[in-house]
Amino acid sequence: MSTEATTAPTRVRDRAQYGLCAALALVGLVVIWDATRIGAATSSNDPVGPRAMPFIIGAALLVVSALYALDVYRGGVGEQEAGEDVELGHPADWKTVGLLAGAFLLNAVLMEPLGWVISGALLFAAAAFALGNRHHVRGLAIGLALSLITFYAFAIGLDVNLPAGILQGIL
Amino acid sequence: MDNISALLGGFADVITPMNLLIALLGVIVGTAVGVLPGIGPAMTVALLLPLTYGLPVEQSLILFGGIFYGGMYGGSTTSILLNTPGESSSVVTALEGNKMAKTGRAAQALATSAIGSFVAGTIGTMLIVLVMPQVVDFAITLGSPEFLAIILVAFVGTAAILGSSRVRGFAALLMGIALGLVGTDFVTGQQRLTFGSPFLADNIDVVVIAVGIFAVGEALWVAAHLRRRAATVIPVGRPWLSRADWGRSWKPWLRGTALGFPFGAIPAGGAEIPTFMSYLAERRLSKHPEEFGKGAIEGVAGPEAANNASAAGTMVPLLALGLPTNATAAIIIAAFMSYGIEPGPLLLTKQPDLVWMLVASLFIGNFFLLVLNLPLAPTWAKLLRIPRPYLYAGILFFASMGAYAVQGQPFDLYVLLALGFVGFAMRRFGPPVLPLIVGAILGPLFERHLRRSLQQSGGDISGLVGGPVALVCYFIILGVLVWPLVARLRRGARGDDDDADDGGDDDTPSGPVSTSTIPNWG
Amino acid sequence: MTVLVGYVPTPLGEATLRAGVEEARRRAESLLVVNMSRDDVLVDAHRAGSDDLDRVERDVAELGVDVEVVRIEEGGDPADALVHTAHERAASVLVIGLRHRSPVGKLIMGSTAQRILLDARCPVLAVKEDGG
């Protein structure tokens, strides 16, 4: 029970939680809407059909989102996850999160055209930069070393799916 | 003893130079990654999963045995050397372990934890050998309705018992089941929640879900709240134990094992409860109760043994029923599935060699762990000095590599990022992560058994309650769901002598006092 | 005016501190002990614990030297931090420890001491590892 959070007399209500409830309800609605779209397909062999489960889960999601909202209304607060490298108590640093997500997306876009060795090295360097690394050359060098090692060990050594991209034939 | 000879057969399969090398590699990599701050055993296993894609099934299972115990042990090193347990199961270890380290007994704390883990792991793995076939014999007689009920127990257990808030647990569980729905229906071939995308028609791979929620979610969460300070390092010598330390440690090891194993074996048992119980027991039984809170070795020995024994215990429902009872077990099931192996009671009858080989490699991994960790502890401690930007960049690097390697589709990387943000939101708002993973893994299985049991009964709902096992399960579920309500009513009936704070009854939400209580359910 | 010592909790750091105390006495100035730790790692071997810094403060004060102990926790670069603090506090001399490094080590790691020697605007006293 997260009641210990309530000892502080001036506790700010965490209204952002309603957003999560709304998201849950939305997912529930989408699941139900998607299920109505499936043609009726029950048979004597399969009396339940593919629609029952989404209906149950969608309805349950709606119920839980309502109960969740009720809990929040009554002052319920979820505990933020602590960790070794996490310092709570500051507002979230959205710039770092955005940069990190950007680095990740860049890799997703570049992976097939450029190949894992290049895109992986860029991902590492860009993510390290986003997280405050100030040694750009070192970041890129470590990234390149990692992507080369993983490419040779996994793609060539163990036949794991990794694209060679424009370096096809060179590596 | 049939089991023993089967196990010896497993050993014979494992003990080849190549396989031993792989087991050693698994232990080293598992421990190294487990020691790294911010990476618990579950994320260790999830991130290292792609390592195994290129290997034959047997060798990847051997690798897993090593990674599993290595990752478990690595986590406790961090909680002893820094007061920051990465996993909820190492919280108790940090209580006394960190105090010991601060008073210059880091080496002893690490030694009792390493040897205790070995003792607990060995006994626990032996117990797997004895218990698991019995459970399989029993489970093999169960039909779909019974399995349906058992899965429901696992659902309700992970959502309602673990974690602090039931409604948040169920929210996570349902999200997981919804994720599991995405893809092509296995009976009719209908597309569900695919929104016309051919990439989603193939279901979202559980590995992608696990890596997204654990690894990417963690990296994004840490990025938002990056700690910008260093801690003082505690120097570590080579771990060793004096005679007196041995004398004070061996009983807690055994008691911890006895507590940990059964809790690991039941659905939703986990390691938190037994480690805490072991701590309380040792404090009560200790001849040096005054040392507790100042670095008592019993307070490290017991909980560490309980932690590892519970890890061994999770292998019983995992191998016998296909039920994951903690996050690491959930990922191991995902690994099995990626090889087309379906864990469950049929596994031991269909592929006994595989199962016994895995058990044998658990023994071997456990042994290597002891041999490696005593001399290497100072080296592991150096890993804590990796700069955070490189560490989390590395996590994202390996996460995207693993997710891509599953199917060779860049599309999975977008799914991975989206799931990363789901994981971020869960860390921000408090719904636990485990129910989501369990829901995603067991959701499809749940639906299969639901449809099969109704097919057998010709659509008659009463077919769901077939046999005593299912009945018992439904009673347990009812008990878990109703208990908080009953407890509250009883407290209400006792009258006003209670704290006003406890009066947050369902039908009397009145005034600012009652809003400060968080009801268990709703 | 003050004598600034870059302190780390190692034998070399203790030797540096001793040299700093001597220098402060010789010049009849106060002593400023600075411990710098990087902000981007979980643990830093160069970060001195609070008890460590308390001990330094006590020991130096017992020797009759006016002492102030500062811990800098922001920033990733000890060289920058020390040079900046020396300038800010108008230090008359900066005392640092100089580790012995192999040529390869120098090439890869760069050298904090080297950066301080080049960047500092006040005299720098470098203490060698072998009690020198």
**What DSSP assignment string belongs to B419-470?**
HHHHHHHHHHH---SHHHHHHHHHHHHHHHHHHHHHHHTTT-GGGGS-HHHH
- Are C45 and B233 in contact (CB < 8 Å)? yes
Chain A touched by C11 (CB under 8 Å): no
Instruction: Identify the domain boundary among A73, A104, A135.
Output: A73
Angle (deg, nearest 10), helices B166-181 and A16-37 = 30
CB contact under 8 A, B427 and A81: yes
Nearest-by-Cβ selection for A159 from B54, B84, B394: B54
DSSP string, B177-195: HHHHH-EE-TTT--EES-T
Which pLDDT tens digit goes with each residue over B29-49? 888 888 887 787 788 888 888
A83 has a chain C CB within 8 A of its CB:
no
Among the partner residues A65, A120, A131, nearest to B392 by beta-carbon distance:
A131
Chain C residue at shortest CA distance from B223: C40
Nearest CB to A47; choose among B37, B455, B515: B455
| B386 neighbourhood in chain C, CB within 8 Å | 41-42
The whole-angstrom distance between A16's CA and the closest CA on chain B is 9
**Which residue of chain B has the CA closest to A50?**
B185
Confidence band for B418, pLDDT divided at 50, 70 and 90: very high
* pLDDT tens-digit series, residues B74-128: 777 777 877 766 566 677 888 888 888 888 888 888 889 889 999 999 999 999 9
Mean pLDDT of C29-35: 92
- Calculate what percentage of chain B has a pLDDT beyond 90: 23
Domain match, A9 and A59 both: yes
Is A84 inside a domain boundary?
no
Do the domain assignments include residue A40?
A: yes
B155-170 mean pLDDT = 84
Helix (H) or strand (E) holding C94: strand C91-98
Best residue in C39, C40, C109 for a mutation probing chain A (most A CBs within 10 Å): C40
Asked whether the predicted pLDDT for residue B470 surpasses 70, the reply is: yes
Nearest by CB: C39 against B82, B229, B384: B229
pLDDT at B384: 83
Asked if B230 and C48 come within 8 Å (Cβ–Cβ), the reply is no
Q: Quick check: C42 and B229 CB within 8 A?
A: no
> Is B387 in contact with C38 (Cβ distance < 8 A)?
yes
Look at residue A89 and tell me if it is in a domain.
no
Mark which residues 132-191 of B lie under 8 Å from A by CB: 164-165, 167-168, 170-171, 174-175, 177-178, 181, 185, 187-188, 190-191
Across the interface, whether the CB atoms of B82 and C74 are under 8 A apart is answered no
How many domains is chain A partitioned into structurally?
A: 2
Q: How large is the ipTM?
A: 0.90
Residue B510's pLDDT band (boundaries 50, 70, 90)? Answer: very low
Neighbours of B21 (CB within 10 A): 12
Asked if C76 lies within 8 A of A134 by C-beta distance, the reply is: yes
Chain A closest-CA separation from residue C42 CA (Å):
7
**What is the length of chain B?**
522
- Asked if the structure places residue A80 within a domain, the reply is no
Beta bridge partners of C125: C95
A85·C42 Cβ contact <8 A: yes
CB within 8 Å: C42 and B228: no
Cα of A22 to nearest chain C Cα, Å: 37
| Same-domain check for residues A155 and A112 | yes
Nearest-CB residue to B188 (from A41, A84, A104): A41
The pLDDT assigned to B1 comes to 57
- pLDDT value at residue B337: 82
Compare all CA atoms of chain B with the CA of A144 and give the residue at the minimum distance: B397
CB contact (8 A) between residue C42 and residue B37:
yes
CA angle C98, A134, A121 (to 5 degrees): 115
Q: Does B230 touch chain C (CB under 8 A)?
A: yes
pLDDT reported for residue A41: 66
Phi, psi for C69 (deg, rounded to 5)? -115, 130
Q: Which residues of C touch A134 (CB under 8 A)?
A: 76-77
B261-280 per-position pLDDT tens digit: 998 888 766 778 888 899 99
Whole-number Å distance between alpha carbons of B67 and B280: 30
**Three-class SS state of B56:** coil
Quick count: other Cβ atoms within 10 Å of Cβ B408? Answer: 12
Together in a domain, A101 and A38: no
State how far the Cα of B116 lies from the Cα of B366, in Å rounded to an integer: 11
Option in A71, A84, A161 nearest B86 (CB):
A84
Residue B229 touches chain C, beta carbons under 8 Å:
yes
Asked, for residue A85, whether it belongs to a domain, the answer is no
Question: Counting Cβ atoms within 10 Å, is residue B510 exposed (0-12), middle (13-18) or buried (19+)?
Answer: exposed
Mind listing the pLDDT tens digit for each residue in A29-63? 999 999 998 876 677 677 788 888 999 999 999 99
Q: Where do the domains of chain C lie, and which CATH numbers do they carry?
A: 2-128 (3.40.50.620)
Confidence band of A10 (pLDDT split at 50, 70, 90): very low
- CA nearest neighbour of B202 among B411, B515, B443: B411
User: Cα(A42)–Cα(A49) distance, rounded to whole angstroms?
Assistant: 5
- Cβ of A60 within 8 Å of Cβ of B174? The answer is yes
Contact B207, B42 (CB under 8 A): no
Q: Are residues A120 and A162 in the same domain?
A: yes
- State how far residue B389 is from chain C, nearest Cα, in angstroms: 7
Q: For residues A77 and B255, which has the higher predicted lDDT (pLDDT)? A: B255
The domain of A10 spans 2-73
Residue finishing a domain among A73, A108, A136: A73
- Every domain of chain B and the residues it spans: 2-456, 481-505
Residue B393: what pLDDT? 95
